[in-house]
Chain A
Amino acid sequence: MYEMPEIVRIAKDAVQHATARQAEIAKNVANADTPGYRARDVQPFEDHLQGTGAMRAKTTRDGHLPGLDPQERFFVTVDQNAEPAPNGNSVSIETEILKSSEVSQSHGLAVAVYKTSLDLMRTALGRSR
């Protein structure tokens, strides 16, 4: 059976990580004025790659249930250090915007890596790009 090369798999993971992180940012920004809301983030991609984050059950057969929902593969962390506002909300819009430009960069990088590795495979097959 055809198996995806490691680099494509990592690029796919990185795209999914960026998407998951952007989802947490969207939740934080939407709840920037909700009393008692604590800012959340997703575990760094390095931690995910080294497997130090979420514990996942391995699926070795088709009949196995996936351990985690594919959309919730990344550990979500609650920011404990941020100083909450008087209403208990710890979202800082500035931090969120900064994080979202980080996400934009890493998403762009991952997509570029994916694209380039597809181009490599095309070249290896001897087709013009």
Chain B
Amino acid sequence: MSSLLDIMRISSSGLDAQSNRLRHTAENIANQDTPGYRRKRIGFEEVVQGGERTGMVRTGPVELDPSALVRVYDPGHPLADAEGYYDGSNVDLVVEIADAREAQRSYEANLRVFDQARQMSQSLLDLLRR
């Protein structure tokens, strides 16, 4: 039984990590037109407790994408320089949408494993109920 609870804990850490990733994707998409905004990205890492691998996952520190900002031509913009350009953001919508899709897919898989562990513990509890 305790092992089934461990499974649920691991799956919920996966759900947590994926929704965190989706949150950063949402942030990036919302700021696509913010001048000077750098795309945020996060990595995943396995949780190690007391030198032992737990199998749980968490999101790593947030990093800013160092790629070049897009130069936007708009002489009327308050931030425009002498040549009429200003720095846009380096968010690529296609990348963000792909990332969001991947997060959704992994979220669903984690949810499925969670649900199955729940069903397994239910069938074990049913042994007692008779």
Report which A residues bind B (CB closer than 8 A): 15-16, 18-20, 22-27, 29-35, 37, 71, 93, 96-97, 100, 103-104, 107-108, 111, 114-115, 118
Which chain A residues lie closer than 8 Å to B3 at the CB level?
Answer: 16, 19-20, 23, 71
Docked-complex contact B113 and A26, CB < 8 angstroms: yes
8 Å CB contact of A22 from B7, B13, B44, B123: B7
A7 CB to closest chain B CB (Å) equals: 15
Q: Identify whether the interface residues of A are mostly helix, strand, loop, or mixed.
A: helix
Report which B residues bind A (CB closer than 8 A): 2-4, 6-7, 10-11, 13-14, 17-18, 21, 43-46, 55-57, 102, 105-106, 109-110, 112-114, 116-117, 119-120, 123-124, 126-127
Please report the C-alpha to C-alpha distance between residue A118 and residue B14 in the assembled complex, in whole angstroms. 38
B96 CB to closest chain A CB (Å) equals: 15
Chain B: CB-nearest residue to A89: B44
Please report the C-alpha to C-alpha distance between residue A77 and residue B116 in the assembled complex, in whole angstroms. 22
Docked-complex contact A29 and B4, CB < 8 angstroms: no
CB-based closest 10 A-B pairs: A30-B14, A27-B55, A34-B44, A26-B10, A26-B7, A30-B57, A93-B109, A29-B109, A33-B44, A26-B113
Please report the C-alpha to C-alpha distance between residue A71 and residue B52 in the assembled complex, in whole angstroms. 15
Q: List 18 A-B contacts (CB under 8 A).
A: A16-B3, A18-B120, A20-B3, A22-B7, A22-B120, A23-B10, A26-B113, A31-B14, A31-B46, A32-B14, A32-B106, A33-B18, A33-B21, A34-B46, A34-B57, A93-B105, A104-B119, A111-B126
Chain B: CB-nearest residue to A31: B57
Docked-complex contact B112 and A30, CB < 8 angstroms: no
Docked-complex contact B116 and A22, CB < 8 angstroms: yes
Which chain A residues lie closer than 8 Å to B102 at the CB level?
Answer: 33
Chain A: CB-nearest residue to B1: A19
Which chain A residues lie closer than 8 Å to B127 at the CB level?
Answer: 111, 114-115, 118
A101 CB to closest chain B CB (Å) equals: 8
8 Å CB contact of B106 from A19, A71, A93: A93
Docked-complex contact A107 and B123, CB < 8 angstroms: yes
Chain B: CB-nearest residue to A30: B14
Docked-complex contact A97 and B120, CB < 8 angstroms: no
Please report the C-alpha to C-alpha distance between residue A62 and residue B124 in the assembled complex, in whole angstroms. 28
